[in-house]
Amino acid sequence: MRRDFLRGVASAAVASLGTRVGAASALTPSSGQLARPDPRTTPTPTGARGAIDRADTRQALLSPLYPQANRHRAVLDLSGLWAFQIDPGQRGEHERWFDRLPSPRAIAVPGSWNEQYPDLDGYFGPAWYWREIELPADWAGRHLRLRFGSATWRARVWLDGRLLGEHGGGHLPFEFDLGRLAADAAVDEPVRRILAVEVDNTPSPTRVPPGAIGGDGGNYPNVAYDFYPYAGLHRQVWLTALPDPAIADFRITTQRIAAPSQSSQSSQSNQSTQSDRADRADRADQATARVTLRVDAPADWSGHGRARLWAPPPALGTALASGPVRTPFTGAPAPNAPTMDARAGNEPAGNGSASNKPPFNVPAIGTPAIDVPLRFTDGVADRTFDVPATRWWSPGDPALYRLRIELLGDDGRPVDAYEDEVGLRTIAVHGDRLLLNGSPIQLRGFGRHEDFPANGRGLNTSVAVQDLALIRWVGGNSFRTSHYPYSEETMRLADREGLLVIDEVPAVGLFFSDAQPLIDARLAQVRRQVDELIARDKNRACVILWSLANEPMDDGFVAGAMRGKVDGTDGYKARGRRFFDALFAHARSRDDTRPLTIAHAPFSDGSWQEHSDVLCLNRYGGWYDNHGRLDQAMPGITSELDALHRRTGKPIMLTEFGADAIAGMHAIGDSVWSEEYQMRMIERYLDMAEARPWIVGMHVWNLADFRTAQALGRPGGFNHKGVFTRDRRPKMAAHRLRARWRPSP
């Protein structure tokens, strides 16, 4: 969100809180612990011939485990062409469109409907998806679940004319427990099920992220954030068949149990010398991982199981060879620097060719395994064990262990199994440093968006692979999921590629100028988003910070945007503090193993960052102010950062900085919108950060141009701050970043 983007937003037109949002939290209040959706809340199903029995509930469940097919589990991917019809008059439920659509057309799932048909470009209201399903005959008697990867914003789901429930908020998975398919459903005559979904993305100030916060406004669509509000079923729809009992969830956490060295014990300063860093790198190799594993099964099950951990294959090639320490934002060799193992978190020297890229590590069955017996009591098993000769996951060596969890029957044979790839690593804040595996790490990379022609925000794994490859090509080691959780495939790919991730909930465009009940309603939504995000991504090694909001707005800014129609007092500051006090406490109760942050804008009140472990700032001096005058803009940026560091002593990161550039526009001087000006502005910010070791990260905004609402300052309805175009062609800034971050030896 940007000042020029929101100036056209008029006074708030507050709607009633009639929106039902139905994701039931299944998280326990204990620190850092997550629980499974409790099967005890679902009545034991009984059914007639061919019937699917399900709980009479209107709430969707958390869906922490990615669907997986193996000898015990079956998966039916419902992606493809569905029947589709918009419902601007909201007649569908009354006219029973869940039985059959009156005038359907085809639509692709996953995908955004706004990109698939020209007449739907500006439509965000209710729309219906419909398809038939024939269940496999061998699924009879198995426990069924219906899972949606993402539906933006509200989804209501019917099966065979019966409302299963609903879910509010996009970008995160949810599911419905369908119970068991009756055993006599396996008949010769196929039984077809009718699945219907109503999706509604109408902008509303009561939703997170908020929209329709003004009257006529100056932006179209009228939303409080600077990206396009794509609508639809954006990720896969899965039908899964599970055994009974079935693994419901698991969580793995890691500690380093090596004793600290003499040099780190004697250090009394936040400053970290090169020898300190090399020493920590050596100890990262020598340290042993102490792993805590929690496995959840049905709450009434008390039986046995086992967990097996296979070591990653040996590192191959020259990618992991030791090399000179390089300064984080220029890539130049540090003066008088010792060597550092790549596993400390810095990239090895190299020109970015394929031979210098870390190998794609797939843990291999057959290598020695750690076997851990599990004993379940009331559906929970907890074990702690050590992993000798630990391969620590890092950008230089994204080593992944293969974890297989099994539930055992009375005869000792597996009745269910689930596998995942897990990286063993630690992340912590120490003074004004961010430590990965006990060693300082500096983040270099980008904010980005899930945005591409034709599919909009719909899952496109080819684009995800390309984007992460481009981050590596430029020399980056990280990205932020701005401003919503990205697909599970992207997160798993980041694990494999060794990219560090700031994982962000969709809490963008928050403001505190309206009535307390509306603020409380938004807080409840963000809490639920935090629950769902942590449940989904808790086991991803790549996730090193949770970001709880992006650019919350203070009343001074809102007053300018809303033409003075706020309360005119400082009450919003206290309301915002209460909001973030509660939100940070809630997030820490869900996961106490990762630092927390919010991305702070100049128009965000400083007190709202009090609980942030890393101070993340979005700053655009030289673009939104002092545009075209970098010499005048930079002193203000540097003085602000220096003062903030002196006052807090915390690590600081710029999560956004950059300038728009129209591809192909060139200029000799500092002319805004030119590729040269974008390149120079990015370089000035990187130079500034290079002199300040407590700046632990620099994320350029943005990796690629992306679609947004139409407004003055957004030519063609696009934000042009990408260093690549929307179709991923590099601008001058991309080549300059590559020269800085991946210089030739």
Local structure of 399: helix, strand or coil:
coil
Burial bucket for residue 390 (CB in 10 Å: 0-12, 13-18, 19+): buried
Q: CA-to-CA distance for 322 and 306, rounded, in angstroms? A: 38
Q: Is 610 a known active-site residue?
A: no
Local structure of 116: helix, strand or coil:
helix
Question: Contacts for 66-69 with beta carbons within 8 Å, 24 or more apart?
Answer: 66/420, 66/488, 66/492, 67/147, 67/238, 67/240, 68/418, 68/419
Q: CA-to-CA distance for 330 and 353, rounded, in angstroms? A: 18
**Residue 404 has which token pair?**
């297989």
**Residue 369 has which token pair?**
């395994």
Local structure of 599: helix, strand or coil:
strand
Strand partners, 289: 256, 387
Q: CA-to-CA distance for 345 and 198, rounded, in angstroms? A: 45
3-state SS string for 652-711: EEEEECCCCECCCCCCCCCCCECHHHHHHHHHHHHHHHHCCCCEEEEEEECCECEECCEE
Contact (CB, 8 A) for 436 and 425: yes
Could you give the angle at the alpha carbon of 400 between the alpha carbons of 365 and 655, nearest 5°? Answer: 160
Q: CA-to-CA distance for 399 and 420, rounded, in angstroms? A: 13
Q: CA-to-CA distance for 88 and 220, rounded, in angstroms? A: 18
Owner of token pair 């945007």: 561
Q: What is the dihedral of CA 56, 61, 66, 68, to 10 degrees?
A: -20
The distance of Cα 703 from the centroid of its chain, to the nearest Å, equals 16
User: What one-character DSSP code corresponds to residue 633?
Assistant: H
Q: CA-to-CA distance for 222 and 727, rounded, in angstroms? A: 26
Local structure of 587: helix, strand or coil:
helix
Q: Which residues contact 292 (CB under 8 A, 6 or more apart)?
A: 252, 253, 254, 255, 382, 383, 384
Owner of token pair 């009974």: 244
Q: CA-to-CA distance for 603 and 669, rounded, in angstroms? A: 30
Q: How far is CA 186 from CA 46, 159, 180, 341, 345, in A?
A: 16, 19, 12, 58, 54
Contact (CB, 8 A) for 76 and 238: yes
Q: CA-to-CA distance for 580 and 705, rounded, in angstroms? A: 31
**Residue 499 has which token pair?**
């990219």
Q: CA-to-CA distance for 140 and 127, rounded, in angstroms? A: 32
- Nearest Cα residue to 478 out of 435, 447, 449, 451: 447
Which residue is catalytic, options 421, 497, 551, 676? 551
- DSSP for 26-39? ---SSTT------G
Strand partners, 86: 127
Q: CA-to-CA distance for 519 and 509, rounded, in angstroms? A: 12
Burial bucket for residue 242 (CB in 10 Å: 0-12, 13-18, 19+): buried
Catalytic residues: 551
